[in-house]
Amino acid sequence: MLCGESMSKRIVPLLLCCLAGAAGGSSPVAATAQRPDAPETPAPGVTSRIVEVSVVAEDKQGRPITDLTADELVLLDGGHPERIVSFSGPSPPAVAPAPTPVAPSSLPPGTFTNRLERLAGGPAAVTAVLFDGLNTPMVRQTYARRQVLSFLKQVEPGQPIALYTLGQGLSVLHEVTTDPRPVIRALEQYRGELSADGAAAPLETAGTGLEAFGSWLGQLETNLIERYDKDRALRTVRALEAIANRLERVPGRKNLVWVSGSFPAWIGHDRVRLPQRPDPTLSSDIERAARALNAAGLAVYPVDARGLMAPAEYEPARSSISRDMPLAGRSGFATMETLAQRTGGLAFYNDNDLGRAFRRAAEDTRVAYRLGYQPSHDGWNGKFREIKVTVARPGVKLRHRRGYFAQPDAPADEWYRSGVLGAAMWNPTDATRVGLTVRVLPGESLGLDLRLDARDVTLQPVGNGFKGQLDVWLVQLGPGDALLDTVSHVAELNFDRITYEQVRASGELPLVERLKRHPKAVLLRVLVRDFASGGLGSVSIPLERDR
């Protein structure tokens, strides 16, 4: 067995307060990390960037078209045609299997994994719902919850779905499953989260002799609102990143139905933006978000939880309402449209039938095409590159993400690596870019047998062998997510050619880790990050608390 010996050095993470990550397009895939549907395996050590595009085709009446061929499509990257190297069309409707709830019981006792194909029967596509309590007034959450429940009760068994909520942080109500029944039960028990409102009524001080105090109080209130808005936007961006990291390895279309009363983060032409003034301290969070959304190709369907809205000029005494009247509170609609267009989803607002959004997203997972290509440009400078797909058949409209951020290789700087891992260790969902299965070994100390998906680890030829590097973090948390202990080290991989070929043939790269268990620990998080690609994998292991 190959061992990454602990030689572990205790460190204090640079970002202990980070919660999770967020965001966007293409990802570098090394020789040993080649995607299963790539056309050919490059020579060892050669890095190939694969960009995948999910495309929905419709006729003029909005009905899906499912018989297009690759020869009918032309794909442009930055205006230049690219060769489509992989193509798959919509799958024919399948007979719904009997409901099979997702449960770790399918794994051997004491074994945990982030590989969705082992937990959910290999979902070919998924529709995830994010119920956003952070950005939705409490008065609208009850209505939106009823709409989501109504949709879930119509979902046929066999269709992969997941349900997340956003409050002070991201929570998992139910992971990916093909059985809607436990998802319905989880949402029925959910009671929502209080949403703070920065638009409080101002204090009236005129004529009281406290005008100067009122001016200072107003300035303080403005500063607090700006601080709250920035924090709210940042939590939102990190939640999007966490969901993208979780669903990245689902091979088919990945839809996120985001039910919210406001949308504080949107994807612009050049980067993921926060609507507040630029803040240099947020740059690393925004960059991580862009990378995650790019790698996952997550199609976002923003749904305005406020439902049907009255025009701003409406008065009850009027006998009629013009459809041309501006709507009250419509400032968020442009954000919704931009987010949907950039990612290939659809925006739904000013509509009391929220279930229409869920039905549409679920249908898109069934009728989507998957295109893959290797960009011929060398402009990996982080800027947004526009994608356009056209079809020769008349009367066909295509919907797909508008582009991706051409991110360079992930920075190797210590501050960036610590930021990525520090955020992931608080994340309630497991990242899937690096496939990882962990078996807890018997004994007084915590012994861990790690099996990494060899495709996800970059090994470069050096002399007569192959080398690579992995960040390994082992984090023990107590009740209330109290941080008890963090042990980390860099695993140096150094294989001769025979061992390298054995690893490739087996498909797994084994590592063994040992650490002293903290007596109050209730959860162990195992994080592995590939140096070269920046790919991250994580697994959460519940521990019985010592008495």
CA distance 199 to 417: 37
CA distance 323 to 326: 8
CA distance 60 to 51: 28
Q: What is the pLDDT of residue 20?
A: 24
Pairing type for strands 27-29 and 48-58 reads antiparallel
DSSP percent split of the chain into helix, strand, coil, nearest 5:
25, 30, 45
* Nearest-10 crossing angle of helices 283-296, 211-247: 30
- Burial (CB < 10 A; 0-12, 13-18, 19+), residue 268, is exposed
Number of Cα atoms under 13 Å in the Cβ half of residue 528: 32
Q: Is 192 left (phi over 0), alpha (psi -120 to 50) or beta?
A: left
Pairing type for strands 446-453 and 436-441 reads antiparallel
Residue 131, token pair as written in the block:
């119920």
Q: What is the pLDDT of residue 76?
A: 97
Low pLDDT (below 70) residues in the chain: 1-48, 91-106, 118-123, 192-229, 264-284, 286, 307-332, 545-547
Q: What is the pLDDT of residue 252?
A: 84
Q: What is the pLDDT of residue 281?
A: 53
* Nearest-10 crossing angle of helices 138-152, 180-189: 160
CA distance 200 to 259: 24
CA distance 479 to 307: 39
Domains and their CATH numbers in the chain: 9-18+426-542 (2.60.40.2150), 29-94+372-405 (no CATH), 124-200+210-316+326-366 (3.40.50.410)
CA-CA distances (angstroms) from residue 480 to 9, 19, 424, 516?
26, 14, 17, 21
Q: What is the pLDDT of residue 158?
A: 82
pTM: 0.73
3-state SS string for 70-99? HHHEEEEECCEEECEEEEECCCCCCCCCCC
Q: What is the pLDDT of residue 145?
A: 85
The number of residues in the chain equals: 547
> DSSP label at 200?
P
Q: What is the pLDDT of residue 309?
A: 53
* Ranges of H-type helices in 377-519: 414-424, 497-506
Q: What is the pLDDT of residue 156?
A: 80
Helix, strand or coil, per DSSP, at residue 184: helix
- Give the DSSP H or E segment for 364: helix 355-367
